[in-house]
Chains A and B, each alone.
Chain A
Amino acid sequence: MAAPSQELLRSNPLPADTIQLSVTRYDPAQDAAPRQQTYEIPYRDDMVVLDALNWIKTHMDGSVSYRWSCRMGICGSCGMNVNGTPRLGCSVFLRDYLPGPVLVEPLPNFPVIRDLVIDMTSFMEKLSSVKPWVISNGQEPALAAGEHRQTPAQVEQYRQFSMCINCMLCYAACPVIAIEPHFVGPAAIALARRYDLDSRDHAGQDRLRTVTGSDAIWDCSFIGECSAVCPKGVDPAKAIQQTKFESTLGMLLPWGGVSK
C-alpha cells in the first residue's frame, strides 16, 4: 500500500491517542498453535480492556472471539489474562497499562476452544460435585408457614462465600490446579463452605466429604493466589483453610465437623 500523502494525513489525522493490544488468536481448524495478533485502536482513559476488544470486533476484525455480557463485573463471563494476571476484562482499565501494548490471553489452566474462549466443562462439573444447594433435615416448613428465621449475624456467617460470580480467575491463578487438574478448586470449595455455614442447611459430613475426598485439598499450600485474584473479595483461601480444619476435626471427633 502506498504511503498516504502529507496532505491526506493533515485532513484525516490519525487519532491523537492510540494503544496496542496483543490478543491471542487460535482456531483449532486453522492454527497448529495459538499466536498473538496486534491491533492498534483509539484510546480513551475510561476504556476497559473489554471496550478495546469490542472496538476491535466492531470496526476491525469480527473474528476475534471472547465471552462477555454485563460489563459491570457481575456476570463473570469475561475472565482473561491481562499482562499475565487473571482479570475480568470489564474491570481492568487500559490506563493502568500505558503506554502498552497490553497482552491479552485466555485464562491459563483451562483448555482453549478458540481465541480467548476457554473450555469450562470441568469447572461446571466441579461446581455441581459439591452439592451446592440446601440439604434439609426433612423438617422443611411448608411454604405457607413462611420463611426460616435467619438473623443478620447468621447471614454474615456465609455471606462472603455467597458472592462468587464463577469467573474462574481463581482456577487460572491456582498453582495446585496447574499440576493437579482434578483438584475441585477454590470457587467450588468456597461454594461448599457457603452452604455448610448456612443455618438452613443440614448436610453435615455429606457435603464436606465431596471436597475432602480427593487428596488435592491437602496439596493446597495456602499460597492464597486464589484470594489475591478474586475480583469480589470472596477469599476462597479462607474457605479452604476452614474446610481443612473442619475435616480434621471430623476425623478426630466422631460428632465433629461443620460448626455454624
Chain B
Amino acid sequence: MGGGLAGIRAAIAAAETDPKLRVAMVSKVYPMRSHTVSAEGGCAAVLREPDSFDGHAFDTIKGSDYLADQDVVEVFVREAPLEVIQMEHWGCPWSREPDGRISVRPFGGMTTWRTCFAADKSGFHMLHTVFQTSLQFANIERLDEFFVTSLITEDGRCEGVIGFDMRSGEVRSLAARAVILATGGNGRIYAFTTNGAICTGDGMALAYRAGVPLKDMEFVQFHPTGMPSTGILITEAVRGEGGYLTNAEGERFLERYVPNKMELGPRDIISRAMVTEFEAGRGLKGEYGDYMNLDVRHLGSEVINRKLPFMRELMGEYMGIDIVTDPMPVRPVEHYMMGGIDTDASGRTPMPGLYAAGECANAGINGANRLGSNSLPECLVFGAAAGRAAVHDARGVKAPGSNPIAGLVKDETRRIEADFLGRSSGTERVGEIREDLQKMMDAQVGVFRTGDGLKTAVKELAELRDRFARLKLDDHSRTFNTELVTALELENMLDGAETIIESALARQESRGSHARRDFPDRNDEKYLAHTLAYHTRGAKPRLEYRPVRITQWQPQARSY
C-alpha cells in the first residue's frame, strides 16, 4: 500500500524474491504523484573511502539525540550503499564526478561528504527511476487511485485491506497473505508544511486503529528553510553547497548555536535557533511573519545552475526572486515525521502479516531527529527489507478465506454510506475542520512546546472531533468523490494528531525535535526510551515505553 519510493521498492523486492507471487501495488494516487517526488537534496550512503559505516552510524545516532536503536542503524548504514548502487543500475541520473563516479555533497549533521544527489531533484529522479523500473515486472499489478479504508484482521493477523476504487466508488476487498504499508507521513496535519496534500498519514492511522502501536510520535521535524508563503521546501543542499543563513542584522547567527557546524548543523537545532532569534527581535519582517535570509550569491550562477537549478526555478516562480542576485527568505516549516508504525529492522510490525516502511514506519533509525538525506535511503533499505520479509513469512501461510471478507465489505460500504455519503443532518465543512486542526497544530505543537500549550491542544482536538461527528458533505456522488476522500483522510489526521499531542505531553524532557520549554533538559534516566501509543476505544491513547537499544555508542551531551 503506497506507491512512493518505499512502496515501489518493496513491490520490486517482493516480485524479485518470488516471481510466481502476485503483488498488488495499491495507491490513492498514481505512483509518480507520491510525495517522494518533492525530496530534493539527496540520499546518504557510505560509497567510498575515507567514509566508514561507523561514521554514518554515529552521525545518525548523535543526530537522533541517542533515541535511535543502534543495532538497526548499523544494518541501515551497511545496506544503504547497495541500494544506491541498485538505483544506479536501474538508471537513476545521479550527478557525477568528472571521472564518472557518483557525486556526493555535504549535508547537515553529517561529518563527511556522503549525500548522493541528482542535482536538487533527487527524490523526483529516484521515484521515476523505481516506478519506471517496476513497469517491467509482470507480477506487479497496480491499483491506482484506490483508497484503503481499513485493514482486514483475523485472529490478530493482517489478511488484506478494504477500500474503494475512486473512479467507480465501489468498495472491495483485497485478500493478501501479507500487507506492507508504505503510505508516507502526515505532515498535512500542520498548516505550514513542506508536505503535499496527500500526506495525511493514512497507513499510520489504519495500523493504529488495528491495534499496532505508533512509536515516538512526539518527534516532528521542522525543516529550517521553507518558503515563507507556501511552505515549499528549500533544500538543505543550499547550505550543503555553501549557502549562509543570516538574520535581520546581516549576521550569521548560527555562530551562537552550532559554532562548529554553522549552516551544516542538524535541523532541529537550526530551527530552534531561528525561532529564538525571531523571539529576540532579530528576524526580518515579512507579510507571512518573521523570516531569515538564505544567501547563495557568493556561489555564482554556474554552481547555482548546475547544483541548485530547481531552487532558482522555485524562488523565481513563486517569490519573484533570482537567487543569483538576491537572498532567499525562509522560515522553519513542518517537514517530516520521525514517529511512525512500530517495526523491526525487517519492516515487521507486531501484527503478523503486517509490515511497514518509509516515513509511515518507525524502524528506529531516526530517533528524536532525522538527519537530512537519511530518509531516501531509509525508504530503499526498509522498503526492500519489508518486501523480502513479507515474501519469506508468507510461505506456508494459508490464503485468507473469502466468506468473512464479503461481510466486512458490506459493513464498510454501510459505514461509508451512513457516516459520510448519505448523511444529511450535519453542519460542519470538512475543509474548515481540517484548516482549524492545522492552525491548532502550528500554534500548540510546533518547534517549542509547553505543557499548557499541549493541554490546550488536547482540549481543542476533542472539539475538532466533536465537529467531525457533525460533518456534512456537499458531494454525494460515487464518481471520484474527492470530498469523501478528504473526510476519510481527516479522520486519519485527527488520530495521528492525537498520538502526537499525547506522546508530547507525556514526554517531560527535551530531546531532538521535541523541545519542552517547561522541561528544557534531556533526561536519559527516565526517557532513554521509545514512546508506544496504543489505540483505545473512545479514550485517549495508552502510552507505554520501551528502552532504546544501545550497541557501542553511549549517550553523550549533544553539541555541534
Measuring CB to CB, which residues of chain A are less than 8 angstroms from any residue of chain B?
A: 27-30, 46, 57-59, 61-63, 65-77, 91, 113-115, 117, 120, 124, 127-128, 131-134, 140-141, 143-144, 146-152, 154-155, 158-159, 162-163, 165-166, 191, 195, 198, 200-201
Chain A CB within 8 A of B462 CB: no
Within 8 A of A (CB), among B378-407: none
Smallest Cβ-Cβ distance to B136: which chain A residue:
A133
> CA–CA, A62 to B128, complex, Å?
32
Known: A75-B32, A113-B480. A61 touches B474 (CB 8 A): yes
Flag if B480 contacts A114 (CB, 8 Å).
yes
- Report which B residues bind A (CB closer than 8 A): 29-30, 32-35, 37-38, 82, 85-86, 88-91, 93-102, 121, 124-125, 128, 132-133, 135-136, 144, 167, 196-198, 229-230, 232-233, 310, 313-314, 317-318, 429-432, 434-435, 473-475, 477-483, 486
B65 CB → nearest A CB, Å = 30
Which B residues lie within 8 Å of A159 (CB)?
93
Q: Judging by beta carbons under 8 Å apart, are B124 and A147 in contact?
A: no
A191 to B167 Cα, complex, angstroms: 27
Q: What is the CB-to-nearest-CB distance from A15 to chain B, in angstroms, rounded to a whole number?
A: 17
**Inter-chain contacts of A58 with B (CB < 8 A):** 429, 431-432, 434-435
Residues of A within 8 A of B93 (CB): 155, 158-159, 162
Q: Count A-B contacts at CB 8 Å.
A: 165
Q: Is the CB of B96 within 8 A of A150?
A: yes
Given A74-B124, A133-B90, A59–B431 Cβ distance below 8 Å? Answer: yes
Greatest chain A CB density within 10 A among B30, B132, B233, B483 is at: B132
Query: Whose C-beta in chain B lies nearest to the C-beta of A151?
Result: B100
> What chain A residues lie within 8 Å of B230 (beta carbons)?
71-72
Residues of A within 8 A of B144 (CB): 124
* In contact, A63 and B38 (Cβ under 8 angstroms): no
A36 to B268, CA, bound (A): 48
Q: Are A155's CB and B96's CB within 8 A?
A: yes
Report the minimal beta-carbon distance from B531 to chain A, rounded to whole angstroms. Answer: 30
Q: Which residue of B lies closest to A28 (CB)?
A: B479
Partner of B101, one of A120, A127, A147: A147
Q: A141–B477 Cα gap in the complex (Å)? A: 53
With both beta carbons as reference points, the residue of chain B lying nearest to A191 in the complex is identified as B132
Contact B474 A46 (CB under 8 A): no
B432 close to A59 (CB less than 8 A) = yes
Residue of B nearest to A121 (CB): B144
**Nearest opposing residue in chain B for A72, CB measure:** B232
Q: Which residues of B contact A46 (CB under 8 A)?
A: 229, 318
In this complex, the member of B85, B429, B434 whose beta carbon has the largest number of chain A beta carbons within 10 angstroms is B85
- How far, in whole Å, are A67 and B230 apart by their CA atoms in the complex? 18
CA distance A165 to B144 in the complex (A): 17
Question: Do A62 and B30 have beta carbons less than 8 Å apart?
Answer: no
Check if B474 sits within 8 Å of A65, measured CB to CB: no
Contact between B477 and A27 (Cβ–Cβ < 8 Å)? yes
Q: Which of A75, A163, A166 has the most CB of B within 10 A?
A: A75
Known: A65-B480, A132-B132. A76 touches B32 (CB 8 A): yes
Q: Distance (Å) between the CB of B497 and the closest chain A CB?
A: 18
B484 nearest in chain A by CB position: A62
Residues of B with C-beta under 8 A to A143: 82, 85-86, 89
Please, which residues of chain B bring their CB within 8 A of the CB of A127? 132, 135
The answer to whether A91 and B121 touch across the interface, beta carbons within 8 angstroms, is no
Docked Cα-Cα span, A198 to B96, in Å, equals 14
A63 lies within 8 A of B477 (CB): yes
User: Given A65-B482, A72-B232, is A120 in contact with B30 using a C-beta cutoff of 8 Å?
Assistant: yes
Complex Cα distance, B94 from A63, in Å, reads 42
Known contacts A69-B198, A143-B86; is-contact A151 B98 (Cβ 8 Å): yes
Q: Which of A68, A134, A155 contacts B89 (CB 8 A)?
A: A134
Question: A148 contacts which chain B residues (CB < 8 A)?
Answer: 88-89, 100
A72 to B231, CA, bound (A): 10
Give the chain A neighbours of B314 by CB distance below 8 A.
72-73
Q: Which single member of A29, A70, A120, A147 contacts B38 (CB below 8 Å)?
A: A70
Residue contact A128 to B135, C-beta cutoff 8 Å: yes
A149: which B residues are within 8 A, CB to CB? 99-101
Pairwise interchain contact B133-A133, C-beta atoms closer than 8 A: yes
Cβ of B431 and Cβ of A147 under 8 Å apart?
Answer: no
Question: What residues on A are CB-neighbors of B94 within 8 Å?
Answer: 147, 150, 155
A53: shortest Cβ distance to chain B, in Å? 11
Known contacts A29-B477, A133-B90, A143-B89; A162 and B125 CB within 8 A of each other = yes
In-complex Cβ contact of A73 among B317, B434, B475 (8 A): B317
A69 to B37 CA separation, bound complex (whole angstroms): 10
| Contact pick for B474, options A62, A75, A124, A144, CB 8 Å | A62
User: Which of A59, A70, A200 contacts B35 (CB under 8 A)?
Assistant: A70
Least Cβ–Cβ distance between A203 and chain B, in angstroms: 11
